Amino acid sequence: MKDGINDNLSREISDLVIDSLADYAIFTTDEEGNITTWSSGAERVLYYKREEILGKSVDLLYTPEDRALLVPSIELGVALREGKAIDERFHRKKGGDKFWASGFVFPMFDKENQHIGFTKIMRNISEIEQAEINLKEESALAQTIVQSYSEPLVILNSNLKVINATSSFLKLFTRDKATTAIGKQLFDIIDAGLNVAQLRSLIDVTLKSHAFHSNFDVEFNHPQTGTRLLKVKPRRLYQPPNLMFSLEFEDWADNIALNEERDVFISVASHEIKTPISVIKAYVQILQRELTEAKPIVKKAVGRIEEQISNMGALISALLDTTRITTGNLVLNQEAINLCSLVNEITASFRMTQSSHKIIINKEENGVVYADKVQIGGVITNLLSNAVKYSPNADRVFVNIEADDNRVSVSIQDFGLGISKSEQHQIFQRFGRTKSIKKTNIPGHGLGLHLSKEIIELHGGDIGYSSAHGKGSIFYFSLPSY
């Protein structure tokens, strides 16, 4: 009697435990595989109600393909023989929907050790699988991003767990240059050097408002350089529910200071180099005059020296001018000038210094502008010499001067190498030379167009071009009429 009470009690407890396992389908069958008990978890996982499934064959829960292969009875056979059968396979819910499940089957024996049936524990693992796949995808993506960045960057999920980070991030912001940041909470690893409270609230705002496109500034106290602002760029990489985003930290102060330093350096260095270069040039010219009796090879060598010195002089002047422009120190000496006369003057000297190309002025409309003659002359010279230089297989360059009441424009057309579309964005940048030109041995420094654009814009004008790779280019500028 006492045993009976204990038996009932332990059965009730085990039923309670079994029913509390919501994600697990737990049921028993007789020796033939007919279902004898059915847990609430089984109702939730497999959709069959207890009353409708009791007495039915376990085969119902298998896919038709598995049934055809006799998988249900093979599984029970394995369980009986080996004490358990474990596998992962598709099972069927009521209604026929398939799901991926892991299952354990155990044989049951009575007190006399007679086999009386089986217990099966089954878990729907489709979601777990999907979550694992997502996790793998996320970490592969994060790894690729981190590998392609050298800037400080951290990749986080919505709980601010670190999915990955660049080594420059770890070096700058983590206490002990954490090598194992992955999986940790962002605020458990970053250093007090960053204004943590500020960063925390800005991340919070970003997450709440989904404003992954808005950059924000955060204070950073560097041991050597003191407190400064860092620009933080948040970017969303994955959508919710698996939200993954990156924070990139950019040190603007550093960039600005660096650029200014570089400009001052270039300016001072160019200025200092300019004088000795002029002196060398003067001596080379004296040498050339005195070398009338020398061997041709010596004359040729001195000629080359003079050529190179002139190139260097031009480069130094261009460098000086660009730094003067960027530091706002270029003073324009503006006067009323006739662009036609200026273009004619320059083309005339061009005709004298080179014979490879005919410089043909096709259209000459008189137009006066208020401009710095030396600087605008420099722009025309640059466009003309580019037209000649970058059309080694052509023999002519066309020039047009057009004027109306508002503007005077000059265009220079060559029939040379042209510029491919993909390279067109580079050419007005400082030191911008196209890749295909760099591969040729045509000399240049990528300063002329940058300088020309700055000068034309300082005069309130526009500069532009159209070009087709392999066909040639038309460069043009226009200035307000005077």
# binding residues, ligand ADP (CB under 6 A): 22
Pick the piece of the chain touching ligand ADP (CB under 6 A) from 62-70, 164-172, 299-307, 446-454: 446-454
Q: Which of 434, 453, 459, 461 binds ligand ADP (CB under 6 A)?
A: 434
Name the residue nearer to ligand ADP (CB basis): 233 or 433: 433
d(CA 411, CA 387): 11
145 near ligand ADP, rule: CB under 6 A: no
Within 10 Å of residue 43's Cβ, how many Cβ atoms? 18
Q: Which of 334, 432, 458, 480 binds ligand ADP (CB under 6 A)?
A: 432
342 near ligand ADP, rule: CB under 6 A: no
Q: Which of 53, 61, 408, 449 binds ligand ADP (CB under 6 A)?
A: 449
Query: Which amino acid makes up residue 460?
Result: G
E strand segments, 71-180: 85-92, 98-109, 115-124, 153-157, 162-165
> Judging by beta carbons within 10 Å of its beta carbon (0-12, 13-18, 19+), is residue 277 exposed, middle or buried?
middle
User: Angle CA(420)–CA(421)–CA(424) in degrees, nearest 5?
Assistant: 90
Q: Which of 445, 466, 469, 482 binds ligand ADP (CB under 6 A)?
A: 445
Query: Which amino acid makes up residue 57?
Result: S
Shortest distance, position 203 Cβ to ligand ADP, whole Å? 43
Shortest distance, position 312 Cβ to ligand ADP, whole Å? 13
Whether 30 and 55 have beta carbons less than 8 Å apart is answered as no
> Judging by beta carbons within 10 Å of its beta carbon (0-12, 13-18, 19+), is residue 408 exposed, middle or buried?
buried
Name the residue nearer to ligand ADP (CB basis): 107 or 448: 448
The residue at minimum Cβ distance from ligand ADP is 444
Q: Which of 103, 234, 378, 446 binds ligand ADP (CB under 6 A)?
A: 446
Shortest distance, position 437 Cβ to ligand ADP, whole Å? 3
Name the residue nearer to ligand ADP (CB basis): 408 or 451: 451
Looking only at residues 369 through 428 of this chain, which bind ligand ADP when binding is defined by CB under 6 A?
382, 386-387, 390, 414, 416-419, 427
Shortest distance, position 383 Cβ to ligand ADP, whole Å? 8
Name the residue nearer to ligand ADP (CB basis): 246 or 411: 411
Helix (H, G, I), strand (E, B) or coil at 106: strand
437 near ligand ADP, rule: CB under 6 A: yes
- Paired tokens of 23: 């994600």
Name the residue nearer to ligand ADP (CB basis): 146 or 387: 387
Q: Residue 88 half-sphere exposure, CB side, CA atoms within 13 Å?
A: 7
Pick the piece of the chain touching ligand ADP (CB under 6 A) from 42-50, 53-61, 144-152, 444-452: 444-452
Query: Parallel, antiparallel, or unpaired: how do β-strands 396-403 and 358-364 relate?
Result: parallel
Q: Nearest 5°: phi and psi at 330? A: -85, 120
448 near ligand ADP, rule: CB under 6 A: yes
Shortest distance, position 453 Cβ to ligand ADP, whole Å? 9
Shortest distance, position 477 Cβ to ligand ADP, whole Å? 13
Whether 378 and 338 have beta carbons less than 8 Å apart is answered as no
Whether 249 and 172 have beta carbons less than 8 Å apart is answered as yes
Q: Calculate the dihedral angle through the C-alpha atoms of 248, 252, 254, 259, rounding to the nearest 10 degrees.
A: 130
Scanning 149-251, the segments in alpha helix (DSSP H) are 167-173, 186-189, 196-209
DSSP character at residue 469: T
Pick the piece of the chain touching ligand ADP (CB under 6 A) from 64-72, 226-234, 244-252, 445-453: 445-453
Shortest distance, position 136 Cβ to ligand ADP, whole Å? 45
433 near ligand ADP, rule: CB under 6 A: yes
d(CA 118, CA 106): 6
Catalog residues that contact ligand ADP under the rule CB under 6 A.
Answer: 382, 386-387, 390, 414, 416-419, 427, 432-434, 437, 444-450, 473
